[in-house]
Amino acid sequence: MYSFLNDYSECAHPQILQNLVAMGTEQNVGYGMDSYCRQAADLIRQLTETSHADVHFLPGGTITNLTMISHALRPYQAVISAQTGHINTHETGAIEATGHKVIEVFSNDGKLSPELIQPVLTQHEDEHWVSPAMVYISNPTESGTVYTKKELEALSSFCHENNLYLFLDGARLAMALAIEETQVTFPVLAQLTDAFYIGGTKVGALFGEALVILNDALKKDFRFNIKQHGAMTAKGWLLGVQFKTLLENGLYTALGRHANEMMAPIRKTFVDAGYAFDADSPTNQLFPILPDELVTKISSKYKITIWKKTDDTHTAIRLVTSWATKKEDIDAFLNDLNNWI
């Protein structure tokens, strides 16, 4: 049964595995102090056009979020997130487990803006409240939506004026970068955020995320926090090799574009059939709201995620394509869809 469950269902891009196999019994120093990690970090500094970025490679998204956020915040400080933010939903309270409140803000499309954040600042007026100190956003969001450069600029200015760090979760960053009309690029991210991460797990790596810290205030002693949270990979070069592979020759964004392009004809099919969407996603996640009978049919032949009931007879589902999705699988699905709709 073909799976549209997520974008981490397949192993890793062949070039990554090939580069690992080629290592043979070559010896490398541990804990990310090797030359592959150094090269991958240099590459990231080049791509982001910033000489001062600190780059750390961590094994997964949740642990990157909790390590970065707990490093940035003093004990009584909190992070602001959309109610749909990954840290507020699918991370089993990982941020709270490090002692910090996630202040949730209701957002219709999974994105945050100065207008949505200002009331939080107004409310948290003194030491009887937690002190908001960071804004967490995802790009693409958990709803598949993306920020424009302009939106990020507004958010960045607002955060700067209000002493809030801006941290961007890029678990699927490649898919956002592939939407060129947003004008969001690596250098833009480096200019507008205090830290962001370049997701590998969902973009063809075996595992791993590259955390890019721009703000000097967040850099000190970061490796202590990585180690303390069990996030320092002994064979750190595994991450260095993977990110070097992904970021050389534009492979990373190409994989994101591929994932988006595999979803495009599916989106078009639902649009043409007149179905609405739970969120307006131009990326590799799609949230069509469908009649329950159609959901049943799709489920009988494909693995999909039931997202939520939207009314008595309709359900929003989630479909995800990946760096590894093949055109023939999409064609087969479209063929089925056209029969069912």
The H or E element containing residue 340 is: helix 327-340
CB of 302 to its own copies, least distance (A): 11
Cβ proximity of 194 and 43 under 8 Å: no
Copy the structure tokens of residue 321. 């394509």
CB of 72 to its own copies, least distance (A): 11
CB of 188 to its own copies, least distance (A): 27
Judged by beta carbon, residue 188 or residue 206, the one nearer its own copies is 206
Number of residues counted as binding its own copies (CB under 8 A): 77
Residue 274 interacting with its own copies (CB under 8 A): no
Nearest alpha carbon to residue 114 among 90, 80, 141:
80
Instruction: Write down how long the chain is.
Output: 341
CB of 41 to its own copies, least distance (A): 17
Judged by beta carbon, residue 235 or residue 301, the one nearer its own copies is 235
State the DSSP string of 169-212. Answer: E-TTHHHHHT-GGG---HHHHHHH-SEEEEE-GGGT-SS-EEEE
Residue 24 interacting with its own copies (CB under 8 A): yes
Residue 119 interacting with its own copies (CB under 8 A): no
Judged by beta carbon, residue 51 or residue 92, the one nearer its own copies is 92
Candidates 6-14, 43-51, 152-160, 182-190: pick the segment binding its own copies (CB under 8 A): 6-14
Residue 324 interacting with its own copies (CB under 8 A): yes
Residue 319 interacting with its own copies (CB under 8 A): no
Footprint of its own copies on residues 234-273 (CB under 8 A)?
A: 234-235, 238
Judged by beta carbon, residue 6 or residue 148, the one nearer its own copies is 6
- Taking the CA atoms of residue 12, residue 15, residue 19 and residue 21 in that order, the dihedral angle to the nearest 10 degrees is 60
Nearest alpha carbon to residue 159 among 185, 211, 121, 188:
121
Footprint of its own copies on residues 128-187 (CB under 8 A)?
A: 128-131
Copy the structure tokens of residue 83. 């109610």
Strand-strand pairing, 131-138 and 102-105: unpaired
CB of 97 to its own copies, least distance (A): 5
CB of 58 to its own copies, least distance (A): 8
d(CA 103, CA 111): 14
Footprint of its own copies on residues 56-95 (CB under 8 A)?
A: 59-67, 70-71, 74-76, 78, 89-94
Cβ proximity of 57 and 208 under 8 Å: yes
Residue 5 interacting with its own copies (CB under 8 A): yes
d(CA 273, CA 276): 9
- Residues 215-234 vs its own copies: string with x where CB under 8 A? ------x-xxxxxxxxxxxx
